[in-house]
Structure 1
Amino acid sequence: MESSVFLAVNGTLMRGLELNGNLQKIGAKFLREALTEPTYRLWSIGDRHPAMQRVETNGGAIAVEVWAVPTSVMSTLLQLEPPGLCIGKVRLADGEEVLGVLGESILCAGQREITAWGGWRAYTAELANQVQQVN
């Protein structure tokens, strides 16, 4: 049996979203929804995808999905991610530490912080609601 790593995803790799097919193609398996410990901040990168960073202050809990990713194809997944996203360690609210998709500082600079929404899905739902109100 092939070994896997647990990977926390916080944006377009999540189920039903734009890049989830990248996880499906490499044989990753959805395990569960989770929250990070409240030490992360989240930015919208041009409203195309989010980027999450661990911070010392003013963090929040961010909604993520945890997937089991075959170790042999982890680098393939990373190469499919948008520029400026990387893999690092993420601590979940239950204390478990897993690998996760994070954003480089330079990627987040000057972007809209969306930590208050608690996750990418909540933020994009708010954007969709605003568009409906305008129309």
Structure 2
Amino acid sequence: FPTIADVEADPVVRNAQLGHYTNFVNLMDMSALAIPAVWRRDGLPAGVTLIGPAGADHLLAEAGARLQQQLGGAAQADAIAATPLPFNESTIKVCVVGAHLAGQPLNWQLLEAGARRVAVTRTAAHYRLYALAGTTPRKPGLARTEGDGAAIAVEVWEMPLRQFGGFVAAIPAPLGIGTVELADGSSVKGFICEPAGIAGATDITHHGGWVNYLHSLN
């Protein structure tokens, strides 16, 4: 790569060369993080640029810290992982209860939308959970009840607000997004089920959550 003197001598050509592997990041609305690496044998400094989708700042920060640690830098990856960087844009929190949970088959939709998990918690104690019939992959339906309900295990994810509309548009009936009350009394947007979808579904409330129900099938 060019020295400062090289760039000063021919700035347009040298910057075009340097931008070959970086210009697309801005054009494609991606995020990137440059970190120092080991020095080259000729005495010049070198670095690594990590590139990810828009909104992946915290993922890049954690990955960059782990890479720096492997290269002999300070061990700070765990601290970054425990304290997520704030989003630099408007966000919305979404409560998920089934196939979108971490490790489940539709979790990739949240990750693709740039979302990150901010809480593992439970709903308030007035919900019932159902295993819906004929869904692929298997999905549950969460329904609020005024009678005999229970607290259901859920996760809360935070995603950029600009991704929320597309995420909701991909949700098939009888599921939808409504307002879910959490155990601490707060309310967030989250997955709920239309009453018609519960017809023919299996009540699995006693399992306390979708993952527990799936384990019971093994």
Q: What TM-score do you get using the length of structure 1 for normalisation?
A: 0.91
Using the alignment, how far apart are the partners of 1:67 and 1:101 within structure 2? 12
Q: Which has the bigger relative contact order, CA under 8 A and spacing at least 6?
A: 1
1:9-24 matches, within 5 Å, as 9-24=96-111
Q: Give the structure with the higher percent helix.
A: 2
Q: Structure 2 residue aligned with 1:43, among 110, 130, 144?
A: 130
**TM-aligned CA deviation for residue 31 of structure 1:** 0.5
Using the alignment, how far apart are the partners of 2:198 and 2:90 within structure 1? 33
- Asked if structure 1 preserves the Cα contact closer than 8 Å seen for 2:150 and 2:205, the reply is yes
**How many residue pairs get matched?**
128
Provide the secondary structure at the position in 1 that maps to 2:217.
helix
- Asked if structure 2 preserves the Cα contact closer than 8 Å seen for 1:22 and 1:80, the reply is no
Q: Give the structure with the higher percent strand.
A: 1
Instruction: Report the counterpart of residue 119 of structure 2 in structure 1.
Output: 32
Instruction: Report the counterpart of residue 5 of structure 1 in structure 2.
Output: 92
Instruction: Report the counterpart of residue 92 of structure 1 in structure 2.
Output: 182
**TM-aligned CA deviation for residue 109 of structure 1:** 1.2
Aligned-residue CA RMSD (Å):
1.1
The percentage of aligned residue pairs carrying the same residue is 38
**TM-aligned CA deviation for residue 23 of structure 1:** 0.2
- The structure having more radius of gyration, on CA atoms, is 2
- Asked if structure 1 preserves the Cα contact closer than 8 Å seen for 2:132 and 2:200, the reply is no
Instruction: Report the counterpart of residue 54 of structure 1 in structure 2.
Output: 144
- Structure 2 portions without partners, runs of 5+: 1-87
| Segments ≥4 residues shifted beyond 4 Å | none
Cα deviation code 1:10-57 (max 9, x no counterpart): 000000100000000010111010000110011001271101011100
